[in-house]
Amino acid sequence: HRSKSTGLPGAKERTLVAVKPDGVQRRLVGQVIQRFEQRGFKLVGLKMLQVSEDLLSEHYCQLRQKPFYPNLVHYMTSGPVVVMVWEGHNVVQTSRTMVGHTNPTEAQAGTIRGDFSVHVSRNVVHASDSLEGAQREIQLWFQAKDLLDWDCCDQASTSEV
C-alpha cells in the first residue's frame, strides 16, 4: 500500500485570472476557461461581478499614477467581469505566457490576447504577474471560504467505489 500522493512539487500554486468586460461582452468567457482547463489547471474559484472603483484601485494600486488610469477604470467598470482562481504547477508564469503580452500588437498568435484582441485598452484578460501579486490579488477578490479544494474522480480509492 502506497501512501497517498501529494502531487507534483508546486502543484498547489494559485493565480488570479479575470475575463475583463470586453471579453464577457464578446462571449469569450468559455474559450478562456477552456484554455486553462485544457492546459491542465484546476479551477478552484469562480465568480461574476460588477467591479467597484475601490476594488479596482486596490487591484491596480501600482498604476494609479499612470496617464491611462482613468480610462482603465472606465474600461474595467464598463460591465461585469468573470474572475477565477486557477491552481497547478507553475500556474502563475504559465498563465502569463498563455495570456500574452500586455499590448496585443506585441502578443504572439496562440496567446489569448494574440488571438482575440488588437488594442491594449481592450485586451480581454488579466492574469497575476508574480507569486506575491497572485497572493495579494486572490485575497483581494475572494474570501477563503469561496476557494474550493477538490479531488479528481480518477483519484478515488477502490474502497470508495
Q: Is 68 annotated as a binding residue?
A: yes
Measured CA to CA in angstroms, residue 59 lies from 6, 56, 95, 124 at distances of 32, 5, 18, 16
Q: Is 102 annotated as a binding residue?
A: yes
Q: Rank residues 62 and 143 by Cβ distance to ligand IDP and give the closer one.
A: 62
Measured CA to CA in angstroms, residue 99 lies from 27, 52, 54, 65 at distances of 17, 24, 25, 25
Q: Extract the C-alpha cell encoding 9.
A: 512539487
Compute the least distance from the CB of residue 36 to ligand IDP, in Å: 16
Compute the least distance from the CB of residue 51 to ligand IDP, in Å: 13
Binding site for ligand IDP (CB under 6 A): 63, 68, 72, 102, 120-121, 123, 126, 129
Q: Is 113 annotated as a binding residue?
A: yes
Torsion on CA atoms 102, 105, 110, 113, rounded to nearest 10: 40
Compute the least distance from the CB of residue 72 to ligand IDP, in Å: 5
**59 part of the active site:** no
Write out the catalytic residue numbers: 126
